Structure formats: structure tokens, C-alpha cells
Amino acid sequence: MSGLPSGKPYWQCYWYDLRFRALGAPSFEPLGDGRPQQVPNTWLATGPVGDFADWILAEAAGELDDLRGELRVLIYTDARPGPDAEPVLARTASLGATRAGEVSRSRTRRRR
């Protein structure tokens, strides 16, 4: 495959982990079974993984509008990140008493 940087994959898969922290709780807890889910390839084929992170937070915030606290999505390049693994992207949305669906990009990072 000419034109691709050496050692770089043509297609990068991502996995996401959705977490919730109730108002006043000290830490985020996993939603669902706690295992990362693969970001659909249809999202990755049409735009950056950050667009998916924004969308999943907005959708989840709409469904969880009875909760108060914060919702966080963590994006990984590994399907089974270890306990010390750093996400390549993290976004947080407020639920309830504050503006629901507001996304914080303060911890957004991308690895190259």
C-alpha cells in the first residue's frame, strides 16, 4: 500500500466505555457490563471518532434524563484495555441539574 506511513494501520478500530458518576459520588462507575463496545465502523468511515463520542453522549443523556450527575465516554484503541490504560479520547456530559448533554472536551487527547 503505497502512500501510507510505515507502521501505521490503514484502518484504526476503537472501543468505547460509557461511565456514570451520580451527583456527589466520588468516582465514575461503568454502565452495562463494563466491557468496552466497538465503535461502529460506519462512524469511522464517515468522520473522526470524536464525532461518535459526542453523539453517544448526547443519545445517552437523552435516555438518562432522570439521573443527576455526569456521563463519561472513554475511547480506547484496545478492545480490552488494562486497568492503567489511558484512553485516546475522553468526553464528559452533565446530566440533570446542569445543562443535560453539555459536552466537556477538557480531557480530549489523541495519540498518534
How far, in Å, CA of 90 to CA of 73, rounded? Answer: 6
Spell out a b/e string for 72-96, using b for 16 or more CB atoms within 10 Å of the CB, else e: bbbbbbeeebeeeeebbbbbbbbbb
Report how many domains make up the chain.
1
Residue 1 lies in a domain: no
CA end-to-end distance (rounded Å), the chain:
19
- pLDDT band of residue 19 (cuts 50, 70, 90) is very high
Residue 62 in domain: yes
Q: Residue 6: inside a domain, yes or no?
A: no
Question: Is the residue at 4 inside a domain?
Answer: no
- pLDDT score for 75: 96
> Is residue 9 one of the residues assigned to a domain?
no
Q: Model confidence over 59-74: pLDDT tens digits?
A: 888 888 788 999 999 9
| Residue 104, in any domain of the structure | yes
Q: Is residue 34 part of a domain?
A: no
Query: Which cell numbers in the block locate residue 69?
Result: 450527575
**Closest-CA residue to 111 (of 69, 76, 84, 65):** 76
Domain that holds residue 103: 16-25+41-73+81-112
Q: Is residue 47 part of a domain?
A: yes
Cell numbers placing 13: 478500530
Radius of gyration over alpha carbons of the chain, in Å? 15
pLDDT in tens, 21-78: 999 999 999 988 888 999 999 888 888 999 999 999 998 888 887 889 999 999 999 9
| Paired strand residues for 90 | 74
